[in-house]
Chain A
């Protein structure tokens, strides 16, 4: 166990270091002089010189990298070229929106995906299986931003059931907050639900034909109890695995969903930054996403070894 954790920890640290290197050189690959890009409108020679000095662009590369890592670790991502607001404070307002959207989407996806997956596995050959399989295939194939577009057109604009855009902070008004977020969360969750459904179904089919389920049936346990207490327990690990693996997809999906529903989160901030060529913001967004991805997957691995003790021994969450 300890050995597995140490291996995973140093692997994660190495990946984190490599991704920082990638972003560091990515910033230097931006078209033109980085000082020019960072300066924005004020391009006087003095301003450029000050920026070069502030960012250490006049120093040797290894030293620059060390200073860069030091600044990032302290949460100093510079300031937005467009607004002059520190990137860190932009993140403080944007991240909670995205986090709430993502958590809601995962909850919806887990409920829908596990439910439909169990149904399809238990009712083999029944119309319910066909329906669940068909919906999962459609869920994998539908462009979710298009679903969002249709939802706004036909559920928000036409009927007024849901607000078409905007956001109310959770602490200001929890009910209104949910009212604004539920539609985007459902849209974001459906794609994940399709993937969870297919994996749950195949994991359930495996465990339903396994010896321990046969034993449980043989000792006279009711079918419902067999399914919930024995077969379904394994689907918990399926959900955890997929959320870890699909985290990148979830982040990408959140960016698009926020853009469509006008949610002032991390994703909208990202897209706005690209179109405004707001390089400090883009850099922070890319670096932060990579860091979050690496850390969350490390936590998912820890969680595995808690849920499934076999993984502690083999060290292979397969």
Chain B
């Protein structure tokens, strides 16, 4: 049997499972493949960084401060205390991913149930909408400022501030998808069949809303990475001497006249991570919904 193939992203033979079709569409998109490889490498490097990093992050060497990149033994040079920049970038990227995952997990744990409830139960919608408005009224940096004033600055508080700021977005997409799914026949059939509200939500609506939740999480992660970097840069996030890409840039700003190169690399790494997630998120959205408009 011959299978006709047309070179477009949508031309996947029908009859395959949804998951296989989505994976195929992703594999055929070169941008998706490249960004996935970048993310996989970054994840491995971050996980193994305590063992892969050539130096201990806090190991100082006052005889060799501000070594430029390319110095033998220090591929990316050293900082103001003679610490190895490559090692600190690796562990800083690890901290970025940690905060991002913690933040996005926080926003999902709170936002998904609220979004489901707002979309499914009419009576709850107004209350949850006011809660969303309330969260939105405190921009994430202002929230972080408040948290830092009450609880002090730390990695956890940075993740909490970023996570809380992302809750409204999660509620919004989950709510609108719940509204859509609720009107479909299979949900009505389950209700007629005597299924309880909780059962319908857990077995019928939540599994079908997974794809929008997944896309939302993929775009929330780069935002969280940028959020952590900003907070640490301002001194409201990860505290020295713990490595963070944001604090590295803050130090670089102080010593910009002596070591301008130090202001470049941590920023490139932050941008690379965020870009890879954003590109992959776009590709995932296209693969999940090939007919939808490509925003």
Contacts and interface: CB of A to CB of B under 8 A. Distances in A.
Given A138-B275, A145-B230, A289-B139, A15 B134 contact: yes
B230 to A, nearest CB: 6
A249 to B, nearest CB: 7
Contact of A145 (B134, B146, B249, B294): B249
A11 interface: yes
A90 interface: no
Nearest to A22: B134
Nearest to A293: B137
B141 A149 contact: no
A282 B133 contact: no
A275 B148 CA distance: 9
B275 A141 contact: yes
B189 interface: no
A85 to B, nearest CB: 19
A143 B228 CA distance: 10
B171 to A, nearest CB: 14
Contacts of A60: none
Size band of the interface chain B makes with A: 35 or more
Interface of A: 11, 14-15, 18-19, 22, 26, 29-31, 137-138, 140-143, 145-146, 149-150, 152-153, 157, 198-199, 201-202, 205-206, 247-249, 251-252, 255-256, 259-260, 270-271, 274-275, 277, 279, 282, 285-286, 289-290, 293-294, 297
A171 B251 CA distance: 36
B139 A137 contact: no
A143 B138 contact: no
Contact of B138 (A30, A277, A290): A290
B130 A150 contact: no
A102 to B, nearest CB: 12
B295 A143 contact: no
Nearest to B266: A146
Interface string B43-78: 000000000000000000000000000000000000
A270 B138 CA distance: 14
Contacts of A282: 145-146, 149
B222 A141 contact: yes
Nearest to A289: B142
B130 A293 contact: no
Contacts of A198: 295
A277 to B, nearest CB: 7
Contacts of A279: 149
Contacts of A199: 295
A252 B264 CA distance: 23
B139 to A, nearest CB: 3
Contacts of A275: 235
Given A149-B263, A252-B139, A141 B293 contact: no
Interface in B68-124: none
Interface of B: 129-130, 133-134, 136-142, 145-146, 148-150, 165, 222, 226, 229-230, 233-236, 249, 252-253, 256-257, 260, 263-264, 266-267, 270-271, 274-275, 277-279, 282, 293-295
Given A141-B275, A143-B230, A11 B145 contact: no
B249 A149 contact: yes
Given A256-B233, A282-B146, A18 B130 contact: yes
A294 B137 contact: yes
Contacts of B253: 149, 260
- The 5 residue pairs across chains A and B that have the minimum distance between CB atoms: A248-B139, A252-B141, A146-B267, A141-B274, A141-B275
Given A137-B282, A141-B222, A141-B278, A11 B150 contact: no
B233 A145 contact: yes
B149 A143 contact: no
Contacts of B137: 15, 19, 289-290, 293-294
B263 A141 contact: no
A26 B277 CA distance: 35
A29 B150 contact: yes
29 contacts: A11-B129, A14-B130, A15-B130, A15-B137, A19-B134, A19-B137, A30-B150, A140-B222, A141-B278, A143-B226, A143-B229, A145-B229, A145-B249, A146-B263, A146-B266, A149-B256, A150-B264, A153-B260, A157-B256, A202-B295, A248-B139, A248-B140, A252-B142, A252-B230, A255-B142, A274-B148, A289-B139, A289-B142, A293-B137
A132 to B, nearest CB: 13
B139 A26 contact: no
B230 A256 contact: yes
Contacts of B278: 137, 140-141
Contacts of B252: 149
A25 B264 CA distance: 42
